[in-house]
Amino acid sequence: MCDTFVATASATSDGSVIFGKNSDREPNEAQALEYHPGRVYAPGAHLQCTYIEIPQVPVTRAVLLCRPFWMWGAEIGANASGLVIGNEAVWTRMPLNRKGALTGMDLVRLALERADTAEQGVDIMAGLLRDFGQGGICGYHDRRMTYHNSFILADPGTAWVLETAGPFWAAKRIRGTYAISNGLTLADDFDRAHPDLARFKTRGKPLHFARHFSDRFYTFFSASRTRRSCTREHLVAAGGQIDTALAIQVLQDHGGVTPYRPDSHWLGNRICAHAANGLTRNATQTTGSLVAHLHPDRSTIWATGTSAPCTSIYKPIGFAGEVLPDIGPLPQGHFDPASLWWFHEQFHRGLLSDFEQGHSLFREEQQRLQAQLIQSADAILERPAGEVTAEAFRQSRDWTESQISRLSSTAKNNRRPPRRSYRRYWEKQNRQAGIRP
């Protein structure tokens, strides 16, 4: 499950475009934060995506990606032209392709490497769907998981929502704000669409994309409506003053519940998602999160590089100089404290024995550090961007290390241990990953 939103110039405090996304996947499905410079390719070159090989383009853009470690494609990303894209799994009435095709994550990365604007990204994705289709297994341990996809694409001037059902698609230019959460949302007011959609019209009425194609059963149990409604409430309440800080708050939201207990609900109906059981909340751990502040003069990407946004610090990244500092080896599916993602998991998983108490102990410090980083982000204009980014990553690591130490000293003071089924679920995840929080 995932949640993605965007606010265009009329809804933001400074006339920029603000984008945010949480990537929700299996708990041990580590997500790599990585940068790839643009490249030039020889004529006739080919590209190996997650499952299939396709022709390569002559030139690719530099990209920053949040990628499930075992996939070629990315859940979220940005490029040097100021384009950002995030995808959502959606369940439709169209047949699923479990064999060779492009995954939704492949489509995200391909569009980032090949497009300069959101509208160009829509064109490229539509062409790739036509030529290669979408499909393939998208689960890490769950080798049955496959789905169709929806996307939000944004650049400093525009934003689009693109939704798919098998080979069919519809797209709408966004004005104001928009949010998607694992369910089709487009009605009959889309701006562009697959040329064959016209044949689905009945009794002379325009096609309602979501009603016609949605699989109601899976969409209901994804709790997508609850999460989307929560996101929209945040965006509306901001009254046209959405900024980076608010976007981060949205992605850290637990449904307005304070204090929050991850073992207290059955469905994955929180934006900041926490896995809890193997049936309804297994592929619901937020394993990566990203906010983009897109402005014609400059764009800043704020990425966690870690799971559980409510326990993470968003760090500023710009496409200049050394884009990313050394954050250790790319994470795999097994614990490695040298990797940023797994280093943070020591803190995240240590909290799970008494999340309610632990979260209250560090939240104020976390908010203070995050506010300092946001306030100092303008220094990217005055200092080499790489220096600002490296310092933010260092401060975040130091803070996380201090929280790990604090957990070690307070672990025996747990007041309300979680439910037994929840504890057993996480004990199994920890054994599989080889981690002892």
- DSSP, collapsed to helix, strand or coil, labels residue 196 as helix
Cβ burial 268-299 (10 Å sphere, 16+ → b, else e): bbbbbbbbbeeebbbbbbbbbbbbbbbbeebb
Let me know the angle formed at the C-alpha of 417 by 416 and 418, rounded to the nearest 5 degrees.
Answer: 115
CA proximity to 189, closest of 177, 167, 176, 206: 206
Is residue 230 part of the annotated active site? The answer reads no
The continuous run of DSSP H or E covering 76 comes out as strand 76-79
Alpha carbon 19 to its chain's center: 10
Residue 321's contacts (CB-CB under 8 Å, 6 or more residues apart) are 384, 385, 386, 387
Give the catalytic positions in this structure: 2
